[in-house]
Amino acid sequence: MNKQTGILLFLLIFIFIIVGMVYLKPPPPAIIIAPEVVFRTSFLNITNTMFTSWVVLTLMIVSSFFIGRRFSLVPSGFVGGLEFVIGGFYDLIVSITGEENGRKFFWVVATIFFWIILNNYFALLPGNFHIGMTEPGYGETQAVFEQTTILGIDTAYIPIGGDSVNATNAIKPATEGGNFSGILAPYFRSVNTDINTPLAIAIFSFIFVEYWGLSALGFGYLKKFFSFNKLLKGNPMGIIDIFVGLLELVSELSRMVSFTFRLFGNIFAGEVLLIMMGFLVPLLVINIFYGLELFVGFIQAFVFAMLTLVFAQTAVSHHDDSSH
């Protein structure tokens, strides 16, 4: 690429950025940690993260049904690629734990990995931050929304180039022929930005690790937490074993906390980053951060799954240590 071409490319990128900042700039974002309630029923308030998880789960079940019917001895196309990914993931687990344990651990570890990564990637689809229901704003600069109805559901969205207004300057509500000023509660939001979801997955991981340890070693597995043998035999050094066991128990329980906040913190920080970059540089530059979030979404799913696998292997391997 010669100098003139480089200068022209730079100018085009600069023009795109300026056009995006001037004409496509959305209203100032509102960073809200707690998931927003988007549907209310007589017995349950449904948040956007709950609704998103149901949509992702439905897509997974439906796609699994149709893809499963197309598996063959010589797969090709998309099904072949999917089989390659699943087979490669299985081979990775077997290479770490061995064939017997690999078969035992695979379905749990793979479920964790694919559930997390699909939810992370679904959150990057268009419309996650711009379509939803409105919540009134008072005394703050909020967004002006267009109002419409989709399948009988009142829906608001931020139009391209939508400006912001002061909520104290009354805008006629939709019922009076005007638009709405307030905060948008999107229908779709990354499931893992709701701390309850990473915590649920962490508890799920913890339960299976302890179950595998007990099933492999019986009640002898609990000796690493509660070791009273030396103390009962009159050996005062047994106090050290009790103290070490308590440390092991605390470490085992704190694992749920570390799993939860690692996933929640990274995904929520990524959501905030995309919202802010979309506000500051809505054209071209935002694509760099979307690429970063694609990488982070994969890494967080992989780390969560692999840590579960490593701890599971450690839990069932204590038998070898005690036998020597």
Q: Region 222-228: what's the mean pLDDT?
A: 74
Share of the chain above pLDDT 70, in %: 69
Where are the chain's structural domains? 70-125+192-323, 129-191
Q: pLDDT value at position 118?
A: 94
Position 66 confidence tier, pLDDT thresholds 50, 70, 90: confident
Q: Which amino acid is at 212?
A: W
Alpha carbon dihedral 134, 139, 140, 143, in 10-degree steps, equals: 40
C-alpha–C-alpha distance, residues 92 and 115, integer Å: 18
Q: pLDDT value at position 161?
A: 47
Exposed, middle or buried: residue 274 (CB in 10 Å: 0-12, 13-18, 19+)?
buried
Q: pLDDT value at position 167?
A: 36
pTM for this entry: 0.76
Q: pLDDT value at position 298?
A: 94
Q: Quick one: how far is CA 97 from the chain centroid?
A: 26
Are the CB atoms for 165 and 142 separated by under 8 Å? yes
Are the CB atoms for 213 and 315 separated by under 8 Å? yes
C-alpha–C-alpha distance, residues 273 and 268, integer Å: 9
C-alpha–C-alpha distance, residues 280 and 286, integer Å: 9
DSSP reduced 3-state for 133: strand
Burial code of 82-107, b = ≥16 C-beta within 10 A, e = fewer? eeeeeeebbebbbebbeeebbebbbe
Q: pLDDT value at position 266?
A: 93
Question: Is residue 321's pLDDT more than 60?
Answer: no
Least confident of 159-163, 236-240, 276-280: 159-163
Sign of CA dihedral 86, 92, 95, 98: negative
Q: Which amino acid is at 61?
A: I
Q: Quick one: how far is CA 6 from the chain centroid?
A: 39
Task: Kindly report the average pLDDT of the chain as a whole number.
Answer: 77
Least confident of 69-83, 159-173, 190-204, 290-304: 159-173
Q: pLDDT value at position 158?
A: 57
Exposed, middle or buried: residue 277 (CB in 10 Å: 0-12, 13-18, 19+)?
middle
> 112: how many CB neighbours lie within 10 A of its CB?
23
- Tens digits of residue pLDDT in 106-131: 999 999 999 999 999 998 887 777 77
